[in-house]
Structure 1
């Protein structure tokens, strides 16, 4: 028989577990953003069905995404302070 392929949702959980040390090393506020990004990725399960296991660059990409998410959050807060016309 052929080799069974691990379901994508289980791969996502494995990735999350593999990155747990990375997550723990982040500042508390960055951990919250990391968790937001993980939640967002779980909303796109169908789109990622063909994804493969993570490569070392994954943690680099997540770091970049965290910084971008922080910038977006900051911009949203600044926009909320602007009075409506």
Structure 2
């Protein structure tokens, strides 16, 4: 019988646990940003499930980048409005 893969949401929690020492070593302000990035990856769980990768960190990182890009686009639009363009 083949090896079963843990549910994606459980894999995210495992990655968080594996990185707990890394997080603790970060400065306080960086810990807050790290936490935001982890939360942003959790917002896209359904996309991660569809990726079905043996390395869930790949899809987690990609969803973090997507969320950051969305924030950048929104900020750029806000700047354009403020500049009157």
Q: Is the 8 A contact 1:24 1:31 kept in 2?
A: yes
| Whole-angstrom CA distance in 2 between matches of 1:54 and 1:24 | 22
The one-character-per-residue Cα deviations of 1:4-34 (angstroms, maximum 9, x if unpaired) are: 2111100000000000000000000000000
How does 1:1-85 map onto structure 2 within 5 Å?
1-49=1-49, 50-53=52-55
Give the 3-state SS of the residue equivalent to 1:35 in structure 2: helix
* Higher relative contact order structure (alpha carbons within 8 Å, sequence separation ≥ 6): 1
RMSD (Å) for aligned C-alpha atoms: 2.8
| Whole-angstrom CA distance in 1 between matches of 2:40 and 2:18 | 18
| Whole-angstrom CA distance in 2 between matches of 1:54 and 1:44 | 12
Per the normalisation by structure 1, the TM-score is 0.60
The one-character-per-residue Cα deviations of 1:25-63 (angstroms, maximum 9, x if unpaired) are: 0000000000000000000001111233367xxxxx7xx
Q: Is the 8 A contact 1:9 1:45 kept in 2?
A: yes
